Chain A
Amino acid sequence: MNKQIRITFLSALLFTFILISILIAEPVFAWHFNGHFWIIAPVNLYFLVEPNVSTESWCGWYNAQLVWNDAPDSPTEFIYTEDDSIDVITCEYANNPLTWSGYSWFNPDSGYISKAGAWINEYFTDAYSYYKRVSTAAHEFGHVIGLAHNSGAYLMEHYDSIRYDDNGIYSPTPTDIDEVNALY
């Protein structure tokens, strides 16, 4: 085989390898957004905790905003209010034997949102420790500002047990904050 054919053969092999890699590779680095976002950065987001939530849930919500506001480089500014004429986030409770511990909703249902809400399901969370409850509530605040689930040692990890028990996470990690800063 002469030199030119060998070079052509090796080039073709390399080309094939690159092409197959491109075709089968899945994107590894991708932001995790849920399709909802506030028209400006998530600042001055007044949140109201419904008075009928349990004391434990109240502590969850209140401390969840603190961990978001205190996280380094976080653009968020959640503000606690008891005035239901100015709140844009309503924090409520559910207590039913369904299988989620937290739930978030948005209005309107897509695009820029002007109002959002979140529940924590006291059916499960009443048995949680204080920090685990903060972890659940802070996770819901993450959804409320536009983040989707992420897998691993992040605040946006799906499961409370993996997020808090396995990894001890109850406040936004630098990755969660990077995601918020990428969105706004």
Chain B
Amino acid sequence: MKVSSLILTIPILLVLSITSTACAQTNPKLVNSGKGDVSWAKGWTNLSDLVTDSPLIVIGEIVKVKETIQQNERLYFTKFFFRVDTVLKGQAANQIVIYQTGTPDKPETGIMDDPLFKIGDKYLLFLESNEPDTYCYYGPECRYLIATDKVYSINHVLDNTQYIAPRTLDYNGFSLAMFNANVKEILNSVRFYSSTNVTRLLRGEAEKASFVLATNYSVEGKVLFNINRVDSKNGYLMPVTDGMTLNIVPNELYVHPNNDYHLILEIQTDEQNIVSGEYLINVNYNIGGTITGSHQIKVIIDTLKLSDIKMRP
């Protein structure tokens, strides 16, 4: 065989072996007949924020349908029993109830990027309680299929392309043990998070931004908050601008280990005095004089006018 033929053959074989290896890894599949298209009310861009913002994180199995509720001709909800095998954050009974939009009896009433649960499927879920002992979740970002101790974000198992996972929440056969270790590492740090990174107001409007201060296994003490504006040119902290009033509620609290504390930042603008533009606001916390940190949110005062909105006659 000529040397040139060998040189050509080796890379082709290399490519073919890479291709066949890739094809051999087959993911579990979720068949979805749901035709509803929804906009989720919340989203996250990384695991730390998702962990901090989720009161309950569990791993377990879908056991059976509890009940289906028909709200109107087209809108159905189903409550599923979920057996809890592992609690990564929060507290849960051995069996909880989880809400989904749609009904298995009419699969088309489900949601395109959040297929209805199948009995026997295992999931890692980031949950929030919406009524006593019942939980819901904010779509596919909060739902990960577990198969053979591997974690799959929904985009890798769904039979359609309706969900695009953020790069940092994209898991394709990631080790469940590693995932759990990552969650534990996050829970072992003090975090200060707001689901509002940016808030956009018209002059004179008010808004509330929620914050979570999450403590780790050891931190305890009195917390003081300090709110400043960040100078966009040099990054220095300065007093909040005229025409904007900011209050964090509660503005003082005592924290204990392994707890989440929910706070509200109240933003009030004065139509006459506020100047349209972007304001970077720094909210600083100080626990017991030793542990400090901050979170920044951007407040945009828009040039839009409420008078351009057509009101109901």
Q: Could you tell me the distance between the alpha carbons of A148 and B112 in the complex, rounded to whole angstroms?
A: 10
Residues of B23-73 contacting chain A, CB below 8 A: 35-43, 71-72
Partner pick for B19 among A13, A15, A23, CB 8 A cutoff: A23
Within 8 A of A (CB), among B286-313: 300, 302, 304, 306, 309-312
Chain A contact residues, CB within 8 Å of chain B: 4-5, 8-9, 12-13, 15-16, 19-20, 23, 34, 36, 55, 58-59, 62-63, 66, 92, 94, 96-106, 109-110, 117, 119, 121, 124, 127, 129-132, 134, 136, 139-140, 143, 148-149, 151, 158-162, 164-166, 168
Residues of B within 8 A of A (CB): 3-4, 7-8, 10-12, 14-15, 18-19, 22, 35-43, 71-72, 74-75, 77, 99, 101, 108-109, 111-113, 128, 130-131, 136-139, 162-164, 195-202, 205, 207-208, 300, 302, 304, 306, 309-312
- Residues in A whose Cβ lies below 8 Å from that of B37: 34, 103-105, 143, 148-149
Q: Find chain B residues with CB under 8 A from A4 CB.
A: 4
Q: Shortest beta-carbon distance, A130 to chain B, in Å?
A: 5
Q: Bound state CA distance, A131 and B311, in angstroms?
A: 12
Would you call A130 and B309 a contact (CB within 8 A)? yes
Q: Are B42 and A59 in contact (CB under 8 A)?
A: no
If the complex has contacts A159-B42, A165-B196, are A129 and B202 also in contact, measured as CB distance less than 8 A? Answer: yes
Q: Are A99 and B36 in contact (CB under 8 A)?
A: no
**How near does chain A come to B255, taking the closest CB pair, in angstroms?**
27
**Option from A8, A66, A132, A143 in Cβ contact (under 8 Å) with B200:** A132
Contact A59 B311 (CB under 8 A): yes
Which residues on B sit within 8 Å (CB–CB) of A165? 196-200, 300
A sample of 17 inter-chain contacts (CB < 8 A) reads: A5-B3, A8-B7, A15-B11, A16-B11, A23-B19, A98-B136, A100-B101, A101-B39, A105-B36, A106-B35, A110-B35, A130-B309, A139-B39, A143-B37, A161-B197, A164-B200, A168-B300
Known: A98-B99, A106-B35, A117-B74. A66 touches B15 (CB 8 A): no
